[in-house]
Amino acid sequence: MRTLKRTLLSIFCISILACGAAADASEHGLPLAVPEDVGVSTERLEKIAPELQKYVDKGQTPGFVTVIARKGKIAHFEAIGMQDIENKKPVEADTIFRIYSMSKPITSVAVMLLYDEGRIQLDDPVEMYIPAFKDLKVFNNAQTKAHAAKNRMTIKHLLTHTSGLTYGWGDRPIDKLYAKLKVFEPDSTLAEKIEKLSKIPLVFEPGKRWKYGVSTDVLGYLVEVVSEMPFEEFLHTKIFKPLGMVDTGFSVPQTKVERFAAIEPLTQRD
């Protein structure tokens, strides 16, 4: 189990370093190294920036921060393009980016920490911790009728996106229910979102298929329930702080706003 946890944490750290807040490597994490000293080719690394610059020049993306590590050391760390196009502000090594769905591996690591502590089992029914999920319904294929779920949703189903939950992006009956119940209301708490989700039929029996959806949102609430700690506080206390992830969170403090990458409407250029 400890090997699994270390593997998950490693994957998590790499994802955040590449897509999230890339602070100065030598100060907040791995030391810098001459590429050849860790078995990496300087000549090959020098091909990265020109290729990525093509995407910037074509207007396909404003900029990048690229990081390559091997044997516990940083062999490549480079900033390319713009952090803020309108204000002509270039990307810096410490630019803070939105990581969007990379919050999913973060949440999964949080769940696996609880598992490692023996506080949950992956085959536990979700209803053990979230009673609202006790009497779930499942839509038929046409989504015209719903019947009682034959399988109980487990934590493993949530982790593997085989829970039967979806995102509600589309115009099918289930999507209209997501919209009607305002599942993604910006000011909703996790508890309120889960209460709404429990009223919507699943798109299939738990464990029968894979579908990308709000499974991870439910896991976030499960972490709150089991740890008896707000989800954000749990992440900061158990993951971000121990790993020195000083720029990762749900919001950017005013003192760091200048480092926050702008969202730019990109226009395709020839």
Burial of 131 (0-12, 13-18, 19+ CB in 10 A): exposed
- The residues facing 82 across adjacent strands are 90
Amino acid, res. 94: D
pLDDT per residue as tens digits for the range 20-34: 434 445 454 689 999
Spatial separation of the C-alpha atoms in residues 150 and 7, rounded to whole Å: 34
Question: Which residues, in sequence order, are CB contacts of 180 under 8 Å at separation 6+?
Answer: none
Task: Please write down the HEC assignment for all residues of 139-194.
Answer: ECCCCCCEEECCCCCEHHHHHCCCCCCCCCCCCCHHHHHHHHCCCCCCCCCHHHHH
108 and 230 housed in the same domain: yes
| Angle in degrees, CA 104, 170, 202, rounded to 5 | 65
Which of 153-157, 174-178, 230-234, 263-267 has the least mean pLDDT?
Answer: 263-267
Asked if residue 266 belongs to a domain, the reply is no
Spatial separation of the C-alpha atoms in residues 20 and 28, rounded to whole Å: 14
Average pLDDT of the residues in 212-218: 96
- The closest alpha carbon to 107, from 211, 209, 12, 180, belongs to 12
Asked if residue 134 belongs to a domain, the reply is yes
Mean pLDDT score of the chain: 89
Rg over alpha carbons for the chain, rounded to the nearest Å, is 21
Residues with catalytic roles: 101
Looking at residue 265, what is its pLDDT?
Answer: 63
Looking at residue 18, what is its pLDDT?
Answer: 37
Asked if residue 82 belongs to a domain, the reply is yes
pLDDT per residue as tens digits for the range 138-158: 999 999 999 999 999 999 999
Looking at residue 267, what is its pLDDT?
Answer: 53
81 and 117 housed in the same domain: no
Give percent above pLDDT 70 in the chain.
Answer: 87
For residue 168, the enclosing domain spans 104-234
30 and 76 housed in the same domain: yes
Asked if residue 76 belongs to a domain, the reply is yes
39 and 131 housed in the same domain: no
108 and 229 housed in the same domain: yes
Asked if residue 139 belongs to a domain, the reply is yes
pLDDT per residue as tens digits for the range 157-171: 999 999 999 999 999
Asked if residue 267 belongs to a domain, the reply is no
pLDDT per residue as tens digits for the range 38-94: 999 999 999 999 999 999 999 999 999 999 999 999 999 999 999 999 999 999 999
115 and 82 housed in the same domain: no
Asked if residue 269 belongs to a domain, the reply is no
Asked if residue 264 belongs to a domain, the reply is no
89 and 197 housed in the same domain: no
The reported pTM is 0.82
The CATH number linked to 219 is 3.40.710.10
131 and 38 housed in the same domain: no
Question: Given a cut of 80, is residue 268 above it in pLDDT?
Answer: no
Number of domains in the chain: 2
| Phi and psi, residue 176, nearest 5° | -70, -30
| Angle in degrees, CA 101, 104, 106, rounded to 5 | 120
Average pLDDT of the residues in 188-203: 95
